[in-house]
Amino acid sequence: MELAYIPSPSSGVLYLGPVPLRGYAFCIIIGVFVAVWLGNKRWVARGGRAGTVADIAVWAVPFGLVGGRLYHVITDYQLYFSEGRDWVDAFKIWEGGLGIWGAIAFGALGAWIGCRRRGVPMPAYADAVAPGIALAQAIGRWGNWFNQELYGRATDLPWAVEITSSADGREPGTYHPTFLYESLWCVGVALLVIWADRRFRLGHGRAFALYVAAYCTGRFWIEYMRVDEAHEILGLRLNNWTSILVFLLAVLYIVLSARKRPGREDVVEPGVSDGDAASGGEADGADEAGEAVEKDEAEASDGKKEADGAGQDSKDGAGSAKKN
């Protein structure tokens, strides 16, 4: 008999009158807002303009959602296209099923488009938003709790999650809450990247690469604990192999990037002044007007000095002539 466990919601949908509020979608939305908020603060601190992160996120987020869903559907196609399944369910993203690797890949493509349109370097943008992405994942994982998914082996530990649903082959019982493990790990990754970025002044995409490498480390052992159906290669789940490959690529990037481009970018958004960074460009006119006034005052002062000098010279000349 279990003395303690984490209960699962009886339903993943809450109704505000006739409007359904799905827990999974709500967690994703909150995660996006947190990522943009933190990314904006880090971007401004590095000399960028307030609002740039949100503008680029308009491209990155939709691409990321599409990529995440595509990765999930492709790697778990049997859930949607096998006998007795309805392929229309592949479009029901609110029911869960986003692959982080597809989300990152397609999200990066969307971010690249947004960066090109704003004229900012993609690596610098990635560094700014890296901790926020980790926190967004930490929040988004609680969407799996609402859907009673992403759990590990059976256990009677006090922090086990109780699964009550028997849909899609689930067996009611208490299991390792791998969604919780990954959520906590992602919070740790975010803190690690923030600390390392301040300590070593990471630049040129290395903060983002650190996030990727650290996340892959945790994802490997968390994935190994899961018991839901998945494709395997040589006894390891597909996502385990993906974690290994992506981890190695991230570490390789950190090493090569540090050798080729040490240090951090001096300018992350060309044409941005201190006033732009602080107020998002609202102070442009005031700054320019102030500079113009100062310039006019300086010119007037110089003109006055020249006039005084000329008057003094004339006076001296007249006095000298009178004396002679």
Show me where the domains of the chain are located. 21-200
Lowest mean per-residue pLDDT among 16-20, 85-89, 256-260: 16-20
pLDDT for 44? 97
Q: Which of 4, 1, 6, 3 is nearest to 164 (CA)?
A: 6
For residue 316, pLDDT beyond 70: no
The per-residue pLDDT for range 218-243, each reduced to its tens digit, is 999 998 888 877 788 888 888 899 99
For residue 115, pLDDT beyond 90: yes
Q: Which residue has the higher pLDDT, 22 or 46?
A: 46
As beta bridge partners, residue 154 has 175
Let me know how long the chain is.
324
Query: Residues near 95 by Cβ (< 8 Å), separated by ≥ 6?
Result: 24, 89, 147
| pLDDT level of residue 265 (50, 70, 90 thresholds) | very high
> Is position 141 annotated in a ligand binding site?
yes
Q: What pTM was computed for the model?
A: 0.81
* Mean per-residue pLDDT of the chain: 84
Q: Measured between alpha carbons, how far is residue 64 from residues 14, 55, 107, 109 in Å?
A: 26, 15, 4, 8
Q: What is the mean pLDDT of residues 165-185?
A: 91
Residue 262 to residue 249: CA distance in whole angstroms? 18
